[in-house]
Amino acid sequence: MASSIINFLSPNAVILDLRAANKQSLLHALSEQASASTKLPAETIFAELSKRENLGSTGMGEGVAIPHATYSGLSTTFGLVARVKPPVDFEAIDGKPVDLVFLLLTPASGEKTHLNALAAISRRLRNREITEKLRTSADAAAFYNLMVDEKRCA
């Protein structure tokens, strides 16, 4: 069953023009934001994201990264999306810096949900028309609508 981004990304989980010095500080900032919404400790989120990044960068190229992890203490899938300015080195597969980051956290028991959510995010962020509009979006509401409107630029 396909997953829809609107099911795990809320309008208040959009951060525009987040500043970070490097990949680690970006993951810290995202962990802090996710902690406020999920009530998971930021240190735990950061540790799990770092563990996943140690397996290989989640920078998928073209300025996009999808850091993700699963948690036993999480009851529902959670997404957070950020536009990063200036872009940061994320050790992406194409070597390009990252300016669009989608953080995905899923319950440990939901492997299929995790994979379906990753696929939905990846499909959306591989669409160049979408990513160009996200990079120039004037406000968080427009950015959110671009992320969740599956009819637009599908």
Annotation says 68 is catalytic: yes
Listed in sequence order, the residues at least 6 apart from 144 whose beta carbon sits closer than 8 Å to its beta carbon are 9, 11, 14
Phi/psi at 68 (5° precision): -150, 155
Phi/psi at 92 (5° precision): -65, 160
138: which DSSP letter? S
> Furthest-apart CA pair in the chain: how many Å?
38
- Between CA 20 and CA 28, with CA 22 as vertex, the angle to 5 degrees is 65
Single out the catalytic residue among 23, 68, 83, 124: 68
The distance of Cα 17 from the centroid of its chain, to the nearest Å, equals: 14
- Give the burial string for 36-59 (b: 16+ CB within 10 Å, else e): eebebebeebbebbbebbeeebbb
Q: Which residues are catalytic?
A: 68
